Structure formats: C-alpha cells, structure tokens
Structure 1
Amino acid sequence: MQTMKFAMPTKIFFGKNCIREHHDIFTLGKKALLVTGRHSAKINGSQDDVEAVLRGNHIPYAVFNEVDSNPDIPTVYKGAAAAKAEGADFIIAIGGGSPMDAAKGIALLACQDIAENDLFSGTYAEKVLPMIHIPTTSGTGSEVTPYSILSNHLAQTKSTIATPLIFPAYALLDPAYQKKLPVSITVNTALDALSHNIESALSIKINPLIGQIAQSGIKQIGECLPALAEGGFTEEIRAKLMYGSLAGGLCIAHTGTNIVHSLGYSLTYFRNIDHGRANALTIASYLHFIAAGAPEKVSSILSAMQFNNIEQFRQYIDQILGKKEDFTVSELQKYTQIALKAKNINTSLIAPDESAVMGFYTDSLLR
C-alpha cells in the first residue's frame, strides 16, 4: 500500500454570502490590515462586505491597496511596514492571486526582520500574522497554499516563499464576487487553475488522494471549457471554475507546480504576459512530452476534459488564446536557461533536459 500524507490547516467556507454568514471568524485580532489590489475589491463588492462585518464586530482596520499584478519584493516590504505602523495583528487578503500572495509576504515580514537576500531561503522563525483570504478570481488557489510568489528583479524571474507558516487560517470563497469579472481575466485565471491541476496530476509527488482532487478539478474546469471559448458565464459556471481553482490550490499545496510554471515565469516577467496565459501557451507541448512515457496519465486528463487526443486539446487552447505573441529564438534560449535553474524543473513524472525545455518553447511559440 502506498503511504500518503495530507495536511490542510486552512478552514474553508464555500458558497454564497459566506463572508456575512461567517462573520464570527473576523475576530482573529484587535486590528486588521486589508490587503487588496487598486480597485477590484471595491468594484465587486467583496471589500464592502468585509468592512461591514468588521464594523459589526467592532474591529478597526486599515487598507493597503497598493498591490499590482505580479507583486514584487518591494511591495511586500512596504505592506509589512504599513502593518507595523497601523498596529495590525491580522491580515485580510481580498482579490486574485496578486493580493493573496502579497498578503502572505506581508504577514511574514510584519513579524520578522528578514533581509531581501534571505527572503526565499525557507528558514524562518515561527512568527507570522494570522490571515483570512477571500479570492475574487478562480485561478491561483493561493487561499489554500503555503506559497507567496513574487517578482524577483535581481533574479529576473518569479521566486517563491514556501513555508507552512503562511497557510491562511481561513478561506472564504463566494463565486458571486466574480459576476462582473471581465472575460479575459476569467479565461486566463481558469487556465492557471487548469495548469495547477494538470501539473499536480503529473507530479512525482502525487498520491491517490491528491490525484482524485486534481482529477475532480480538471473535470469541473473541463465542463466550463465551452463557456470559456464562447462566453456566457452563469452562476453555475462561476461556481465550477472556483471549485477547480480551489482543487488546484489544494493539490499544489502538496505537490508544488512543475516545468509549465517555470516556463511561464519568463513569459510573464520579460513580456508581461498574464500568468495563466503564459502557462497555457506551453501546456499542450508539455502533455505531448509526458505522453511519450506515461500515456495513460495524459489520456485520463484529456478524457476528464472530453478531448480525444492532445491535438484536439491544443486546437482548443489555440482558439481561446487567439493570436500569439512573437518571439525570437534568442529570447527563448534565454528563457530556457532561466527555467533550467528553477527548483521545480525535475518534479514531473518525466524530467525534461535542456533540449526538451527549449522544445517546449519552440513547439509552442514558433509554430
């Protein structure tokens, strides 16, 4: 019998009006710092609901709304300074992956003096501000992971703080906040969630329990693929996408991501391509590579999405991505060297060598 482990310290509430229905959990401390993007949390109503609950609980709060897409290291240090200045003793993250990832870095740095050179070391004191996370997109699953992914300008890529310390205490998921989410963001975040589930399913760290969760996430997102291509996002579709994102987060919390994310980081860092789109650009080539050695694994993934083969999947991805960005061979050679240095380069069921990594790029982006 295979040995397994599963740990999820985050308590999850999923459903309509879950913030107001679980108002009692917003008492993790005496003052909250709300970490958000520039505008979206106000536009979709999630921040108003959080503020109403805090006022009802007589909990004062401050707002740090300076998180941009792909938050960087200076942003989390600035947010930590704000938390200290405000005397906040717990964090509420509201938004997509960017505010949630930033919030984790802020929660850690608000309690510990960590030099930038040591930020990704993995060695930290047992001190962090407790967190509540409220995702308002269906992509990263950051509300249930121990990762904070930040743009690292020194390394010219994205780097990851990885520690169980930054698991949120609570995650509240209400698909209603995504009712007015633009189509492009809906598509790109869904592709990110899909890549999480697929990469986890094809990880050397997979176990039967995580495998079942990943398969369920792939199936739920698979049922939404026509809507992603054609539009028409019903309440049911939004709920399925949010479940798929949650499943992906639960999976990568245990397996991590693999080469698809490493490939995508350079596309995002150097070309400002949305993270989910960046993953999707190479994922069909990745499946083709894995299918050479583990065809049954890839077949199971494709079947869950109602595709008969990889080429059908590739055609679908090409359709929803539209016109691809132009790249030169020298660009892709540079990105290949960066990807080869990633920690997760060898976590796939089949580890790619330098030729395979360059092949992912050229097959996907120079076709």
Structure 2
Amino acid sequence: MQFTFRMTTRLFLGEHCVDKHSSELAALGKRALLVTGGRSSKQNGSLADMMAALTKEGISYEIFDQVEQNPSLNTVYQGSKQAREMKADFIIGIGGGSPLDAAKAVAILAVNDISQQELMAKNWSKDPLPVVAVPTTAGAGSEVTPYAILTVDWAETKLSIAGENLFPVVSYLDGRYMMDLPWDVTANTAVDALSHSIEGYISKRASVMTDLLALESIGILGRILRTIDPQNITLREREELLYASMLAGMVVAQTATGVVHGLGYQLTYFKGLPHGLANGVILKSALKFMAQAAPDRVQKVVEKMGCCDLQELGELCKRVLPPVQLKLTAEEQAKYVSKTMQSKNVDNCFKRPSEEDLRRILVESELI
C-alpha cells in the first residue's frame, strides 16, 4: 500500500463560521483584497459577513467584484493590478468556483510580473499570496484544491494551473450562503462535484485514501439528488451538499480529473454550457466507456448512487439537470475530440480514450 496525500487547508464548516473563526484572518496580514462576482455574494450575505470579520480583526480591505463565470485571463490580471496597488497581504475568494479560482490566479500575479503564457506554463518564481476561500456553491471544491481553472482564449479552452501554495490556507463553509441558490445552479454544481468524485475514483491516480473520500461523496450526492425537493431545500441538505463537494475537491486535489472534464470543457468554452451541466450531459456515456477498463469501479459508483444500472444513473442526471437542446456539427465534434485528446485529463483514465471513443461518448450523449 503506497500513496501520497496532501491537503494543507484549515477548514471550518458550520453556521456563522466566518465570524466564529475570524481570528484566523489576523495571522495573514493587515490588508486583504476580496475577489468575488458582481451580485451573488452581496445577496447571500457572504460578503457582508467577511467584511464584518475583517473589520473586527482590524484588517483593511478592498473589493474586486468583476469575476465572471469561467474567469478570463484579462479578469485576473485586472484583479492582480488592484492587489499590487493596495499592497495586499492576502487574497479572499468569495463565491462559486469562478471567484475562488480567480482569487488563486490573482494571488500569483500580485507578486509575479509575468505574461499570460508564463502564468499558464506555471513559470512563476515568487510564492503566491495566501488565499482564503468562502464557497457559496457546492460543486467546484476549489476551497480544498491547488488548482485554478481559467478560460484561455488563445488556447480556445479552459486550462488549469496548479501549485502547492495554491491550496487556500483557510476555508469557511457555511450552508446559509446557499439557501437562496436557484435550483438549476444547485443541480449543476452538485453534478460537478459528483463528476469530481467519480473521475477521481475511476482514475489511475486513485488511492485507498481518495477512494474513501470519493465513495463517501458519491453516496451523499446520490442520496440527495434522488430525494431532494427543489422547492424546499433545507439548511441540512445545503450543508451536506457543501460537505460532499468539499470531499470531492479533496479527491481531485490528489487525482485530478478525467475524460468527463476533458470533453466537458469543450462544451463550456464553445457552447456556453455551465460547467456542471456540461459534465452531466456526458457522464453516463463516459461511465460506459470507463467500464471497459474498470467495470468493478463503475458498478460501485452505480451502487453508491443508489441506482440499479447506468441507465437509471443517466435518467437521474436528466431529471435533475436543466434540459439541453444541442446538436454538434461534424466539424464541431471533430474539433472537440481533437482538443480533448490534447488535454492531460485523458491520461488519468485507466484506458486512454481514442478519438473514436470520445466521438462515441458524444453520440451516446445525444449530442451528435
């Protein structure tokens, strides 16, 4: 039995955890830049809670609230300019995966004057500023990973950067911030977390430790997706989704992702599908492919989801996710397959997919 496991983030989960554990912020410095989106963190109370905590600890702050879905390189460079000008000691990301990932990139660029190409090549010499994460969706798991996923237009896809010092130093998980989250966002992000755990479990890089976390996460997500009432989601269910997403993040922090994310990135970049929805559309067909090399693991996923077979799992995804009316042209499918083959994601599969395998996944997902 041999494996490595690294997760350096200090976690606090529970109601009002930002206020209860605000002293953790005082150790990070006297000036913070808050990186967030334009609306949701203001509406759900997370931004106000963090501003109150910073004030209580005597920490000055500024806000950069220009982060869009699937953050661009231009956006993170703008944020880093503000961080440098205010001489920030640390960065706080508040929101879904996009603001958290953007915060990590800002933390790098705040102390490294490098080009976009150098950033994406992970060619920085100075350690990033410390990052604090406050997730307000349950899907990305960025609060416990060393990754930042960014939209890179010159590569025509989403790409990741990674580094040991990109693990957030502190993460605050409070289910209250998700109470008014729309159902489509709740479902999309939950399926994103599910794909993290599944891809991490059916991976060449899996270990006994990540298996433990992945199966726990899959079991929780499967139960909630089968039984949840979209019109009456309780705080307890929100907390469980947040917990399961965190576990999934811990998994992919060790294993990275696989073919689902590899293909899903193309559907997000070129077709604008929300990330979790893009993953969910192809999940069943991707699992069918994975079963060629890891049938026992795929069967275990089906069982933990509380399903009888892959057909039922696919029907569950269709039931909870928004409908997708999308047909790819022959040119589009060829391009998406080619770009996926060039990604590192496919190298993590027990069986590395061929172009025909990827095309079959698209066909069986009713996208062609």
| Equivalent residues of 1:324, 1:365 under 8 A apart | no
Tell me the SS of whatever aligns to 1:213: helix
Tell me the SS of whatever aligns to 1:277: helix
* Aligned residue in 1 for 2:16: 17
Amino acid at match of 1:321: L
Tell me the SS of whatever aligns to 1:41: helix
Amino acid at match of 1:188: N
CA distance in 2, matches of 1:318, 1:23: 41
| Equivalent residues of 2:205, 2:254 under 8 A apart | yes
CA distance in 1, matches of 2:236, 2:57: 32
CA distance in 2, matches of 1:5, 1:119: 26
CA distance in 1, matches of 2:338, 2:251: 27
The answer as to 2:360 corresponding to 1:359 is: yes
Amino acid at match of 2:135: P
* Aligned residue in 2 for 1:67: 67
* 1:329 positional shift: 2.8
Tell me the SS of whatever aligns to 2:148: strand
* Aligned residue in 2 for 1:177: 177
CA distance in 2, matches of 1:265, 1:229: 29
* Aligned residue in 1 for 2:81: 81
Amino acid at match of 1:351: R
Tell me the SS of whatever aligns to 1:352: coil
* 1:227 positional shift: 4.4
* 1:330 positional shift: 2.3
| Equivalent residues of 1:229, 1:319 under 8 A apart | no
Identity rate, percent: 38
The answer as to 2:337 corresponding to 1:336 is: yes
Tell me the SS of whatever aligns to 1:338: helix
* 1:150 positional shift: 0.4
CA distance in 2, matches of 1:321, 1:225: 10
* Aligned residue in 2 for 1:205: 205
Tell me the SS of whatever aligns to 1:101: helix
| Equivalent residues of 2:73, 2:150 under 8 A apart | yes
* Aligned residue in 2 for 1:279: 279
* 1:366 positional shift: 3.5
| Equivalent residues of 1:228, 1:320 under 8 A apart | no
Amino acid at match of 2:78: K
Tell me the SS of whatever aligns to 1:67: coil
Cα RMSD of the aligned pairs, angstroms, is 1.2
* 1:229 positional shift: 6.9
* 1:322 positional shift: 4.4
Closer, same or farther in 2 for the Cα pair 1:111/1:310, shift >3 Å? same
Tell me the SS of whatever aligns to 2:348: coil
| Equivalent residues of 1:332, 1:362 under 8 A apart | no
* Aligned residue in 1 for 2:122: 122
1:185-334 alignment runs, 5 A limit: 185-227=185-227, 230-327=230-327, 328-334=329-335
| Equivalent residues of 2:183, 2:230 under 8 A apart | no
| Equivalent residues of 2:293, 2:351 under 8 A apart | yes
Structure 2: stretches of 5+ with no match in the other structure = none
CA distance in 2, matches of 1:175, 1:84: 32
* Aligned residue in 1 for 2:35: 35
CA distance in 1, matches of 2:322, 2:157: 25
| Equivalent residues of 1:229, 1:320 under 8 A apart | no
Structure 1 residues 47-81: Cα deviation after superposition (integer angstroms, max 9, x where no partner): 11111111111111000000010001011111000
Which of 126-135 and 64-73 deviates more? 126-135
CA distance in 2, matches of 1:333, 1:227: 38
| TM-score, normalisation: structure 2 | 0.97
CA distance in 2, matches of 1:323, 1:248: 25
CA distance in 2, matches of 1:230, 1:35: 29
Closer, same or farther in 2 for the Cα pair 1:366/1:272, shift >3 Å? closer
CA distance in 2, matches of 1:270, 1:228: 32
| Equivalent residues of 2:226, 2:316 under 8 A apart | no
Amino acid at match of 2:63: V
Amino acid at match of 1:335: Y
* 1:358 positional shift: 1.1
* 1:269 positional shift: 0.7
* Aligned residue in 1 for 2:3: 4
Amino acid at match of 2:268: T
* Aligned residue in 2 for 1:141: 141
Amino acid at match of 1:300: K
